Chain A
Amino acid sequence: MAREATLPLALAGDAAARRPGVVRRAWLVARRRPAAAAGAAVVLLYVGMALGAPWIAPFDPVRTDWSQIRKAPSRAHPFGTDDLGRDGFSRVVWGARISMQAGVFSILLAIVIGVPIGLVAGYYRGGLDQLIMRLTDAWLAFPFLILAIGLVTILGPSLTNATIAIGLGATPTYIRLTRGLVLATSAEDYVQSARALGAGDVRLMGRHILPNIVSAIVVQATVAIPTAIIAEAVLSFLGLGVQPPAPSWGTMLNTAQQFLEQAPWMAYWPGLAIFVLALSFNLAGDGLRDVLDPRG
């Protein structure tokens, strides 16, 4: 897209005619791969649920009702109620907001930190690159959850800190990915010719290299976001993420585990919500790869 913008108008029109646009390609992929389209639709549904939570949820997700403790699913409470008489359905709906926030913002953080570092490492190479990559190796040596547990312990448990921990855990992947892409792209003829024309480092990186690696980074994000969503649920489940009474799917499952025999419905829906969201993201991600990378 960015490449077309730099072309003269007539040429750009030509290029658009020859290459189907992103929207058209998305439509073609959607028709060819209904599973991916369905995944994307479900993800959008969750986004709608997260944004519209105050209007969709019939009850206040944190309001307790002592007359409705651990009631089985009914017409008034389709997902049942929990140990404090809160409405399960409302809590699952509000939970979408927390999960989405954690998933999207943590990966954004990883991109904001990881991509520039990878860009610099891949572009300048040499000693700096070596240093960055050794540090990245050490960073990667911490299993994701162990790192997140450590960070959350240092920062204190909360949604923001869990998001930061997950984001920092995902950062090395982005450093490596970006560096690899930059190494490959720098060798391309158009980058070499731009350099020969006297383009500076910043212009080369920002104008010629970055636009060409964006799609790979976006595709990686669609793989990383469901992982981050599950990571948030895990941290909250362990008591290291979102704190009660906020309705996080992980926290809800933590409570549910204590009442498995008396109130199994408490465990069904939050987990199912995570599962369906992650599955849809993965399906949509496969489709997006085809849309953004017509060569692949």
Chain B
Amino acid sequence: MTLLVISLIVFVGVRMIPGDPARVLAGTDADAAGLEEIREKYGLNEPWPVQYGRWLALAVRGDLGESIRTRQPVRQTVAAKLPITIELACLALLVAIGIAIPAGILAAVRRNTLWDVLASGVSLCGVSVPNFWLGIMLILLVSVRLGWLPASGFVPIADDPLGNVKRMLMPALVLGAGLAAVLMRQTRNAMIEVLSADYVRTARAKGLAQPAVVLRHALRNGLIPVVTILGLQMGALMSGAVVTEQIFVIPGFGRLIVEAVFTRDYPVVQGVVLITASAYVLINLLVDVSYTVLNPRIRIRGTADGA
């Protein structure tokens, strides 16, 4: 249901972009007959509902049409770009979780100490800093001044694993930083709440050591709200990827959409936005499912109004 509404919004939205794709395709010196021929070929002459119906029927089968600009199937274009962005997102996620969860636990356990203040302060800065500026400053420091890492570009991991990691390190850090800040706050709050719960006190009373109490008893329940936030933050991660790829000149999904928008490549914009929105819905569905893994007491009632 949600996906259907999304597809309709995407379709109508893209059609509202001013500018004639046939003209872009034909170039400036095309005559009226040439334009007409192109419109005929890509079905741009037919009424909107017909165009939508046909597009949706094909999209469900995985056929997203072909790029008006490059004449390549959208699926193929996306398939080529997607792994790059997924790699970036996974690395960023790794960075974010690697920083946020330990820092959040530390801040909660040593509540109101210097550690807590420090972690919260850094987190507040992380939320406030525009990540593209962070990226620019990192390039300035690490690449321009110190010359440690290349400033931009991309090498496929299969060709040159070390070169790939070198070029992905800064983007992943930049993309992960904002997420880490949000997650750290959430982890801290959740852990503080859980640590004051009765069963944690019982575990302590049994004489369990602090690490066992924190990691085995508290963390598992403390993670539930963190996972929710993580799911909701996927949208921010996707948005962030667009900007990060732009700064570090990574030829991924994000650059694809910006390029497609500037060249009015309807099918590509449609395909990319549809895939992004669907992915977001699916990820959040997975988040819901993961609750039952983290906490078997939660069973989702009534699955009728799912995605």
Contacts and interface: CB of A to CB of B under 8 A. Distances in A.
A234 B130 contact: yes
Interface string B267-307: 00100010011101100000000000000000000000100
B128 A226 contact: yes
Contacts of B125: 275, 279
B5 interface: yes
A139 B235 CA distance: 12
20 contacts: A134-B2, A134-B305, A138-B6, A142-B9, A143-B234, A143-B235, A143-B238, A143-B239, A144-B235, A145-B242, A145-B243, A146-B276, A150-B13, A156-B18, A267-B133, A275-B125, A278-B127, A279-B125, A282-B124, A283-B124
In the A-B complex, the 10 residue pairs with the closest CB atoms:
A145-B239, A271-B133, A143-B235, A278-B128, A138-B5, A279-B128, A143-B238, A141-B277, A154-B16, A143-B239
Given A144-B236, A234-B243, A278-B130, 4 more contacts: A142-B276, A150-B269, A154-B18, A275-B130
A135 interface: yes
A230 interface: yes
Nearest to B237: A143
B133 A253 contact: yes
A261 B144 CA distance: 6
Residue of B9, B14, B239 with most chain A CB atoms under a 10 A cut-off: B239
Interface in B9-29: 9-10, 13-14, 16-18
Given A143-B239, A253-B132, A279 B124 contact: yes
Interface string A268-296: 00110011001101110000000000000
A279 B133 CA distance: 14
* Overall SS of chain B's interface: helix
Given A278-B128, A278-B130, A149 B5 contact: no
Interface string A123-157: 00000000000110111111111100111011010
Interface string A244-261: 000000000100110011
A46 interface: no
Interface of B: 1-2, 5-6, 9-10, 13-14, 16-18, 124-125, 127-130, 132-133, 136-137, 139-140, 144, 151, 234-236, 238-240, 242-243, 246-247, 257-258, 261, 269, 273, 276-278, 280-281, 305
A273 to B, nearest CB: 10
A146 B242 contact: yes
A142 B273 contact: yes
A240 B18 CA distance: 15
A141 B281 contact: yes
Contacts, number: 126
A150 B257 CA distance: 10
A261 B141 CA distance: 11
Contacts of B238: 143, 145-146
A264 B144 contact: yes
A140 B9 CA distance: 12
A140 B239 CA distance: 13
A238 interface: yes
A138 B9 contact: yes
